[in-house]
Chains A and B, each alone.
Chain A
Amino acid sequence: MILLPAPIVLPFVFIILALLVKSSKAKSILSIAFSILNLAIAGIILFQVNEVDMIKSQMGSWPAPFGITLIADRFSAFMLFMSALVFIAVTIYSVQSIDKERIKNNYFLFTFGILMGVNGSFLAGDIFNLYVWFEVMLMGSFILISFGGERIQLEGAIKYLILNLISSFFFVAGIGILYGKMGSLNMADLAQKFAFTGSFPSLFEPAMVLFVVGFAIKGALFPFFFWLPASYHTPPPAVSALFAGLLTKVGIYSLIRIYTLFLFHFDYFWNPIILWLGILSMVIGVITATSQFDFRKVLSFHIISQVGYVVIGLAFYTISGLAAAIFFLGHNMISKTNAFMVAGWVHRERKTLNMKVLGEMFNKNTLWGVLFFISAFSLAGLPPLSGFAGKYLIIKAGIESDHIFVALIALFVGLFTLFSMTKIWIEVFWKNNPTENAAENNTKALPHGLMLTGSIILALSIIAMGIWAAPIVEFCEKAAADLLNTQKYINFVLK
């Protein structure tokens, strides 16, 4: 289909145009227009995929195992759409939240670079191509995280950079070894060869171990997550909102993709590992989050915990489990980004995010308080918000697939999430301002209309995803069924 490369080409066109445009106002308008266009294209692809199950496009018309395949099934179309939604909100938010200096220095060029990488990773049907899109995404994020060059930012950037590069090396080394053994890079072709050989002679298929470690670092799973809380609180808030919404989710997307294509052949080995990675991420993320006193650090540790939910959904490996994982990924992208956006507003008003010196933000602006309430309690899993449906599905899938113990842990983690969200709520929004600086409270609020617009878009999506959960879950179940039916994917690409 002709439209399929559009989510990759569109950001690229923007990047070229952004270099030609001089004024920062024109840059902002152009970026909002392009992100709306991106959402429209993602919507069309989602609609198309829902009609015909899968669409593919062979680059340069080379037939499947040789040329580069772009393929969108329901899962990738869903991820494309959700990331377009997050991106549009962050772009509108950034126009006001990011300082003029950074916008003038082509801030939007790099956010669109990330968008290009993210969209490319969702569409890639070729494992080396996936690596290249990862690098495109990483390059944009490296620059954004150090953009502006404040001291703390550079520190965070060095940690982020080194650990992410190491994960890339794992991934590429895995690709090299896999190519040497199988002689192919097309994921469908590889999956077919795996299915033919049935099982590898050795249990520890090294390429697969390298892939899982690489994706676990990118997705910030339990033993590999240390780069995330060390860096996500350093850049400007709009940047952390974008990262929180998109980057780790791509790692998890790839993990789900390779699990459903290759790893399930070695289920007896990988399933417990993935399950325990998920459980430990969930528990350790949430427990460390409760001990933090920085607004964004609490949220950063929560990313780890939430990613754990998705991974246990994958490890159940049933239709309902995978559907829950997909739904939860989408819910997490919008809720988490929105929570970071509220943190950005607090930072703009008070120039700090240390919860010990914050307070009374609810009096300052009720609407932002409500927006935080929506996203925080969606993360904690209260009805009627999207998080309730997500957690309910995960726990239900766990009970159905006889993982009662895991389901119980997930319930407990939900309780801790609620606890730490309440902690932010009390410390930042409710308690009396400890600085007792009356003048500070009475200063006129800075303009925040566009920031508010971005955040309201996401808050409305959270509510909509909670209220209209049934049709979305139905869609996710179809997506999960397609993921479990590996042969369908193989036939579609190779036919």
Chain B
Amino acid sequence: MELILAIFIGLLYASGVYLILRRSIVKVILGVFVLSNATNLIIFLSGGIKRSGAGFIPAGAEKVDPATISDPLPQALILTAIVIGLGIAAYILALKYRYFEITETHDLDQLSKTDQK
């Protein structure tokens, strides 16, 4: 399972990088979303994958074998990362919309006013 997930993350990174290198701003933004999700999956994978081992200690149990439960911390971290990602996604889309209103272009090559001459 870990191997499959690792390969999947690799594929996500590859497609994210591919999208970021495109000329259209919309595709670059989509690439950012893909990269952000790939990164979240890395954190998920880092806690170790366990089938049906909820991250709780049963009521009344004094000791619990750590091998039987999954690590709840990475899940909490991903939750934080997802919420941050959501806020940024909303902002970046609004920014793109405003930029499109002003310039009526999707082309990154038009962003040359701030470049070094």
Tell me the nearest residue of chain A to B81, going by C-beta: A172
CB of A454 closer than 8 Å to a CB of B = no
1/0 per residue, CB under 8 A from A, across B30-43: the answer is 00100110011011
State which of A135, A146, A179 has its C-beta within 8 Å of the C-beta of B95: A146
State which of A151-159, A311-319, A395-403, A418-426 sits at the interface with chain B: A151-159
CA–CA, A180 to B70, complex, Å? 13
**Nearest B residue to A231, CB-CB:** B114
A179 touches which of B20, B43, B80 (Cβ 8 Å): B43
- Known interface pairs A154-B95, A155-B111. Does A165 touch B36 (Cβ–Cβ under 8 Å)? yes
The answer for the CA separation of A364 and B90 in the assembled complex, in Å, is: 45
Cross-interface CB contact of B42 among A162, A173, A288, A292, cutoff 8 Å: A173
B77 and A128 contact, CB distance less than 8 A? yes
B92 contacts chain A at the CB level, 8 A cutoff? yes
The reply to whether the CB of A47 lies closer than 8 angstroms to some CB of chain B is no
Q: Are B35 and A166 in contact (CB under 8 A)?
A: yes
Given contacts A155-B111, A158-B111, contact A172 B43 (CB under 8 A): yes
A176 touches B42 (CB 8 A): yes
With both chains docked as a complex, state the minimum distance between the C-beta of B72 and any C-beta of chain A, in angstroms: 12
* Distance between A376 CB and nearest chain B CB, rounded to angstroms: 22
Count residues of B near A (Cβ-Cβ below 8 Å).
36
| A175 with B43: CB separation less than 8 A | yes
Beta-carbon contact of A230 and B114 below 8 Å: yes
A336 within 8 A of B: no
Flag if B99 contacts A176 (CB, 8 Å): no
User: How many angstroms between the C-alpha atoms of A155 and B25 in the bound complex?
Assistant: 11
| B51 lies within 8 A of chain A by Cβ | no
- A98 adjacent to chain B (CB < 8 Å): no
Query: In the complex, which residues of chain B have a beta carbon less than 8 angstroms from the beta carbon of A231?
Result: 114
Q: B67 → chain A, closest Cβ, in Å?
A: 14
Cβ–Cβ contact A179 & B46, under 8 A? yes
Q: How far is the CA of A120 from the CA of B42 in the complex (A)?
A: 25
- Once A166-B35, A229-B116 are accepted as A-B contacts, the answer to whether A158 and B81 lie under 8 Å apart by CB is no
Beyond A157-B95, A230-B114, A233-B114, whether A135 also contacts B46 by CB under 8 A is no
Q: Counting CB contacts under 8 A, is B60 at the interface?
A: no
A155 to B100, CA, bound (A): 11
Q: Quick check: is A149 within 8 A (CB to CB) of the other chain?
A: yes
B46 touches A176 (CB 8 A): yes
The docked-state distance in angstroms from the alpha carbon of A199 to that of B19 is: 37
A residues less than 8 Å from B44 (CB atoms) = 176
Smallest beta-carbon distance B79→chain A, Å: 12
Does B14 lie at the interface of the complex (its beta carbon under 8 Å from any beta carbon of A)?
A: no
Write the nearest CB–CB distance from B29 to chain A, whole angstroms. 8
Q: Which of A142, A157, A165 has the most CB of B within 10 A?
A: A165
Tell me if A149 and B98 are in contact (CB < 8 A): yes
Contact between A158 and B25, CB atoms less than 8 A apart: yes
Residues of chain B contacted by A185 (CB below 8 angstroms): 73
Q: Mark B50-86, 1 if CB is under 8 A from A, else 0.
A: 0000000000000000000000011001001100100
Least Cβ distance of B101 to chain A in Å? 9
What residues of chain B lie closer than 8 Å to A57, measured between beta carbons?
Answer: none
Residues of B within 8 A of A176 (CB): 39, 42-46, 74, 77
Considering the chains assembled together, what is the distance between the CA atoms of A229 and B46 in angstroms?
Answer: 36
CA distance A490 to B44 in the complex (A): 28
Of all chain A residues, the one with the shortest Cβ separation from B98 is A149
Q: Does A287 contact B (CB under 8 A)?
A: no
Q: Is B47 an interface residue (CB 8 A)?
A: yes
A23 to B115, CA, bound (A): 38
Find A169's partner among B36, B47, B102, B116 (CB 8 Å cutoff): B36
Q: Is the CB of B32 within 8 A of A159?
A: no
Selected from B45, B73, B116, the residue in CB contact (under 8 A) with A288 is: B116
* Contacts known (A151-B102, A154-B95); A230 close to B43, Cβ less than 8 A: no
Please report the C-alpha to C-alpha distance between residue A28 and residue B25 in the assembled complex, in whole angstroms.
37
Which residues from B are CB-within-8-Å of A162? Answer: 20, 28, 32
User: Please, how many angstroms separate the alpha-carbon atoms of A229 and B98 in the complex?
Assistant: 23
- From A149, A172, A180, A230, residue with most partner B Cβ within 10 Å: A172
Question: Inside 8 A of B36's CB, which chain A residues have their CB?
Answer: 165, 169
| Chain A proximity of B106: nearest CB distance (Å) | 12
When distances are taken between beta carbons in the complex, the residues of chain B under 8 Å from A139 are 87-88, 91
* Nearest chain A CB to B1 CB, angstrom units: 15
Q: List 29 A-B contacts (CB under 8 A).
A: A132-B84, A139-B87, A139-B91, A142-B91, A146-B98, A152-B113, A154-B102, A155-B99, A155-B114, A157-B95, A158-B96, A158-B99, A158-B111, A161-B95, A162-B20, A165-B35, A166-B20, A169-B36, A169-B39, A172-B39, A172-B40, A176-B43, A176-B45, A176-B77, A177-B46, A230-B114, A233-B114, A288-B116, A292-B116
Q: Which residues of A come within 8 Å of B, CB atoms?
A: 128, 132, 135, 139, 142-143, 146, 149, 151-152, 154-159, 161-162, 165-166, 169, 172-173, 175-177, 179-180, 185, 229-231, 233-234, 288, 292
9 more contacts with CB within 8 A, not counting A132-B84, A166-B32, A172-B39, are A132-B80, A143-B91, A146-B95, A152-B114, A154-B99, A158-B99, A173-B39, A176-B45, A231-B114
Give me the interface of B with A, judged by CB distance under 8 Å.
20, 25, 28, 32, 35-36, 39-40, 42-48, 73-74, 77, 80-81, 84, 87-88, 91-92, 95-96, 98-99, 102-103, 111, 113-116
